[in-house]
Amino acid sequence: MDSKTLYAKAQTLMPGGVNSPLRACKYVNSEPVFIDRAEGAYMWDVEGRQYIDYVFSWGPMILGHQDPVVTEAAHKAVDMGSSYGAPCFGEVALAEEINKLIPSMEMMRMVSSGTEATMSALRLARGYTGRNKFVKFIGNYHGHADAFLAAAGSAAGVTPGTPGVPEEVVQHTLLAQYNDLDAVKAHFKESGDEIACIIVEPAAGNMGLVLPKEGFLQGLRDLCTEYGAVLIFDEVITGFRLALGGAQERYGITPDLTTLGKIIGGGFPVGCYGGKREIMEHMAPVGGVFQAGTLSGNPVAMAAGLATLQRLQECDYAAQEARTKALAEELTAIIAGKGQSVYLAQVGSAFTMYFSDKPVTSMVESGQCDAAAYATYWQQMLAQGVYLAPAGFECAFTSFAHTDEDFEKTLEAARNVTF
């Protein structure tokens, strides 16, 4: 069945024909291609067309698709039974590996998605402090739990008013512009003894890539310490992407709690939250804060995640950053050479080339980018076999599986784009 037929059928069975809104490709005025299989840096659609992937399942597949070691680990795990609902070796092994690479995560809890990780971390911070309010940044996305759906990034930001989330549920969500430390200080000045936590993407990846300004993360750390609030780094994207030890290693700031997802599942549904022992011990069954999960610590996901983290320790992050930077800069030069205004943000193996004539540092600016130009670029890149995120306000990711030839082909495709 071809993509068009599948999409028509899918639309009768699933809202918008998809299981996650961005996949419908509305923001690039297109219809989705349906994927048949993926290997290395490539995906193939149901009609057999090959794409060089820069989405990688929105981040998890940093080693490329079907990394042989990860795939073998997953196969072996399936052969041992795919779910127990009881403690198993894999969850201890993965937790130990995460703790080794991100030492601030002294204790942790495995869940099945990034959404569950952030939602549970917020509950824990509230339970631990006995406070209700929390600070969230405009344009940061922390999954789709109610409390976070206030001025959220990614596709949530473009759903006006977010129907289904009662006012009362977000009344404790205090908003601030990303990188605006003064706004956060003002919240603490007004209600510091009621604020349970600050949750932040240490490098924001859901309004396009926006990097933290010098002193911003340290300022958040200092405020939390001063007021006895919990600092939560949402490293669902940045964990094992910006560095092996995540953004906290790269920027040298230690949060109290960290949330992870994506890469730690090696392509399987996993999330994780963890941090200071003293805080984590407030979780049931030790403490009173409740959270549970039928598939939490799933043995197949744990095995794939562990194999991924082990493989990543053999990878050269510095070299990957350098080649990603070179690719992104060349791409930007090519598009700028066609008379388009573009602004590049890049860190590690992630970048966003905004169609903007000014730097993008906030969700408002991200929203002001030329969406029509991005759609034109996206459509023509796809037609030439380059698979980019179907919205201009997302990141492109490179993987350790991309070859220099893949990058050259990508640049060649960009050279052929006409606006």
Residues contributing to the site for ligand PMP (CB under 6 A)? 58, 113-115, 118, 141-143, 201, 205-206, 234, 236-237, 261, 271
| CB-based contacts of 311, cutoff 8 Å, min separation 6 | 63, 67, 69, 70
Q: Which is nearer to ligand PMP, 152 or 342 (CB)?
A: 152
Catalytic residue among 26, 133, 136, 262: 262
Amino acid, res. 215:
G
Q: Give the span between the Cα atoms of 365 and 237, in whole angstroms.
A: 21
Catalytic residue among 234, 256, 370, 406: 234
Active-site annotation holds for 141: yes
To ligand PMP, the closest distance from the beta carbon of 173 in angstroms equals: 15
Q: Which residue is nearest to ligand PMP (CB)?
A: 114
Q: From 377, 378, 346, 340, select the one nearest 360 (Cα to Cα).
A: 346
| CB-based contacts of 58, cutoff 8 Å, min separation 6 | 262, 389, 394
To ligand PMP, the closest distance from the beta carbon of 251 in angstroms equals: 16
Instruction: Give the largest Cα separation in the chain, rounded.
Output: 61
To ligand PMP, the closest distance from the beta carbon of 206 in angstroms equals: 5
Q: Which is nearer to ligand PMP, 227 or 273 (CB)?
A: 273
Backbone angles phi, psi at 104, to 5 degrees: -65, -20
Amino acid, res. 79:
D
To ligand PMP, the closest distance from the beta carbon of 235 in angstroms equals: 8
Q: Which is nearer to ligand PMP, 131 or 241 (CB)?
A: 241
Q: Which is nearer to ligand PMP, 21 or 367 (CB)?
A: 21
Q: Which residue has the tokens 């908003």?
A: 175
Catalytic residue among 51, 128, 141, 317: 141
Active-site annotation holds for 189: no
* Measured distance between the N- and C-terminal CA atoms of the chain, rounded to whole angstroms: 32
CA distances from 222 to 119, 122, 142, 255 (A): 24, 19, 22, 11
Q: Is residue 346 within 8 Å of residue 209, measured between CB atoms?
A: yes
Q: Which is nearer to ligand PMP, 137 or 378 (CB)?
A: 137
Side-chain-side CA neighbours of residue 65 (13 Å): 18
Catalytic residue positions? 141, 234, 262
